[in-house]
Amino acid sequence: MWQTAGQDRIIEFLRDSISRRSLAHAYLLVGPPHVGKMTLALDLASALNCGEGGIPCGACRVCQRIQQGKYPDVIVIDKYVGRDPKDRRKATEIGIDTIRELLQRSSNLPPYEGNYKVYIIDDADLMSAEASNCLLKTLEEPPRHVIILLLTSQETALLPTVISRCQRFELKPVAFAEIENRLSKFDGLNPDKIKLLSRLSGGCLGWAISALQDDSYLQSRDQRLSEFFGLLTRSWSDRLLYIQQIPSDRHSVEELIKLWLSWCRDVMLLKYNCEEDVTNLDKLNEIRSWANMLTILEIKDFINSLNKMLVNLSYNANLHLLFEVIMLDMPKKEKKADYSINAAGVNN
């Protein structure tokens, strides 16, 4: 059985290709991080090498070893491969030596025990220009028994000549109901947490499972949202002081702004009486109190400012200045003793 969630059309196509023996030599799997690209790649590798007639049974020795990374004919290449675990932080690209040693040379040898040698390059966009050109040589004259799978969430960073030699599949975000269904199979999870994680995942099942196994994400989100909630009624000087507590690396800042945007989107949804579509389900009371204090125009303008900040982030603008602008653009309200829920006053 295919383990990949929510990509039925692609699976159907691949199953058909396997049964008709009309496989491409290279596939490009495009989609956001944690949407299931690696799961699909391992599923396909199992389907090609499993003894159960082209469908990954998931239970045989071949399937199990592929899942555990112990099958000699399925080779996963990423930026960490071949590095000392202590140097993981330094790993930023997939170099030519990695592609030459692990793929180009070994691809000319027949499979050790399976039907196909399957090479999976994770975050293929991290290949250096030399590594991409080295891969291109194998893509131009691929040995018959070789299938190459390139996984990426940044397709535009790949060489067009590499893309043009692959059959391309785009993995779409998985439906919330399907994510809830998969999460409900984990023991001891309450339904509210399942629902919350599926909404926060944005359709990426892998993300939801990681957040399930590591509480630190939900804890830090909780803290960040509590701080953000309070900023609406803080003084200008408090807001500017708060900037000093904000993370200084661009990736974390981008995550933070997206978190704020998800909150503001929820406020807007409440303004339009669409409570069932809210993402931050566990913060409904706080979001409602913002919705009570802000007008639609105020929240719209602030969403525009946050979106503008995301664009400016990609241009390497000064982080401190960007946050100063955001803190001044954020509407400011007087603190009231009572944030009580006033459903009638939400829509204005």
Closest to Zn ion by CB, 14 or 28: 14
Number of residues located near Zn ion, criterion CB under 5 A: 4
Smallest distance, Zn ion to C-beta of residue 74, A: 12
Closest to Zn ion by CB, 60 or 91: 60
Are the beta carbons of 51 and 59 closer than 8 angstroms?
no
Q: Give the sign of the dihedral formed by CA 39, CA 92, CA 197, CA 210.
A: positive
Which residue's entry shows tokens 């994680």? 197
Q: Which stretch binds Zn ion (CB under 5 A): 51-59, 122-130, 192-200, 280-288?
A: 51-59
Residue 63 binds to Zn ion (criterion: CB under 5 A): yes
Closest to Zn ion by CB, 60 or 246: 60
The encoded tokens of residue 170 equal 């785009």
Smallest distance, Zn ion to C-beta of residue 209, A: 22
Q: Strand order of the sheet with strand 26-30?
A: 74-77, 117-121, 146-152, 26-30, 167-170
Residue 55 binds to Zn ion (criterion: CB under 5 A): no
Residue 18 binds to Zn ion (criterion: CB under 5 A): no
Residue 47 binds to Zn ion (criterion: CB under 5 A): no
Are the beta carbons of 67 and 52 closer than 8 angstroms?
no
Which residue's entry shows tokens 């220009």? 129
The string over 170-205, giving b where at least 16 C-beta atoms fall within 10 Å of a residue's C-beta and e elsewhere, is: ebebbebeebbebbeeeeeeeeebbbbbbbbbbbbb
According to the 3-state scheme, what is the secondary structure of 141-173? CCCCCEEEEEEECCHHHCCHHHHCCCEEEECCC
Closest to Zn ion by CB, 59 or 321: 59
Residue 118 binds to Zn ion (criterion: CB under 5 A): no
Single out the residue of 50, 211, 294, 330 in contact with Zn ion (rule: CB under 5 A).
50
Single out the residue of 11, 24, 60, 209 in contact with Zn ion (rule: CB under 5 A).
60
Task: Provide the binding-site residues for Zn ion, judged by CB under 5 A.
Answer: 50, 57, 60, 63
